[in-house]
């Protein structure tokens, strides 16, 4: 486990603005919400290796590769790098490592115990930003007991980037079913249901799926799931504790205020808020899209 991010030599000058020739930046159509942080995403591939794709799911990363994601707030000279999370693909599986940036913004140090960082967002809101510890990384990245990536699914990657990766020899072929999730920054022309389902797939389905950390809830919020009960429509909770907020079903068609899903998305209270990790604030855009989706559902 390298003690500092610079030891990986992912970036030519130690800074994230100059990736080396084996590191490629990428973006997601619909990104994960993390207290409004900007994300700088990169993939490292060892010399002579390629990504493989089968359908719209996760790309297959060769052993030795890495997924690098830096969280930042602010723009230009005011931008502050907060943390970088590195997923390493070793012969024994994936390893998740969190790194915290120093005050000088010259390097990031391994933070296995995680951290809480009081900070003020660009909009002026004061938050307690959480860097997850190594075990908390596993909470979201675990499926069937193994650590896996959750972000770079082919269905959530732009066609232009996939084609470029093929052209440069970094990807075997553009997978079928890729680039189908709507682009979150250009939501005007997208269907409400597609926006809501994409948001839930990215923000919730890493736990709410078979083999995920919340599989015992019976909810399956993946993009490819169309069973209404598994999506939560008129589905009673497995355990009606305070997380249910007194509501009877996960999704009450036509009535977002009676839906457990919206109630938990709209809370920041420990034990109620969903997702449990990765945010201390609510995402107004995500909540608005899910509310609209539920409002448009036929009530009968």
Per-residue pLDDT of 278-300, as tens digits, reads 788 999 999 999 999 999 999 87
Tokens 């970088």 -> residue: 84
Q: What is the pTM of this model?
A: 0.93
Closest CA to 57 of 226, 228, 206, 277: 206
pLDDT of res. 40: 94
pLDDT of res. 179: 95
Per-residue pLDDT of 124-138, as tens digits, reads 889 989 998 877 776
Q: Does residue 262 sit in helix, strand or coil? A: helix
- The answer, yes or no, to whether residue 274 has pLDDT greater than 80, is yes
- CA angle (195 as vertex; 201, 141 as ends), nearest 5: 15
- Region 133-148: mean pLDDT is 78
pLDDT of res. 75: 85
Output the six-digit token pair for 262.
């919206």
pLDDT of res. 14: 58
- Region 89-95: mean pLDDT is 94
Going by C-beta distance under 8 Å and a sequence separation of 6 or more, which residues neighbour residue 282?
Answer: 265, 266, 267, 268
- The answer, yes or no, to whether residue 220 has pLDDT greater than 90, is yes
């Amino acid at each position: 486990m390298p003690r500092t991010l610079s030891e990986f030599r992912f970036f030519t000058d130690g800074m994230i603005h100059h990736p080396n020739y084996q590191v490629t930046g990428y973006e997601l159509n619909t990104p994960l919400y993390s207290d409004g942080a900007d994300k700088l995403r990169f993939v490292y591939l060892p010399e002579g290796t390629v990504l493989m794709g089968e359908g719209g799911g996760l790309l297959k990363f060769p052993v030795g590769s890495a997924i690098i994601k830096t969280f930042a707030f602010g723009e230009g000279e005011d931008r502050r790098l907060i943390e970088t999370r590195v997923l390493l693909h070793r012969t024994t599986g994936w390893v998740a490592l969190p790194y915290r940036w120093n005050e000088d913004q010259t390097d990031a140090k391994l933070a296995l115990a995680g951290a809480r960082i009081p900070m003020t967002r660009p909009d002026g809101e004061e938050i307690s930003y959480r860097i997850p510890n190594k075990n908390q990384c596993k909470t979201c990245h675990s499926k069937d007991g193994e650590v896996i990536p959750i972000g770079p699914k082919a269905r959530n990657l732009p066609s232009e980037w996939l084609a470029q990766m093929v052209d440069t020899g970094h990807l075997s072929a553009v997978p079928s079913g890729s680039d189908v999730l709507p682009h979150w920054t250009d939501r005007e022309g997208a269907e409400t249901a597609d926006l809501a389902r994409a948001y839930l797939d990215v923000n919730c389905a890493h736990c709410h799926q078979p083999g995920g950390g919340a599989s015992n809830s019976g909810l399956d919020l993946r993009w490819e799931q169309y069973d209404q009960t598994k999506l939560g429509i008129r589905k009673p909770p497995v355990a009606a504790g305070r997380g249910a907020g007194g509501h009877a079903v996960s999704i009450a068609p036509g009535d977002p205020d009676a839906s457990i899903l919206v109630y938990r998305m709209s809370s920041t209270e420990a034990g109620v808020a969903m997702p449990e990790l990765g945010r201390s604030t609510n995402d107004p855009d995500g909540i608005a899209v899910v509310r609209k989706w539920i409002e448009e559902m036929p009530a009968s």
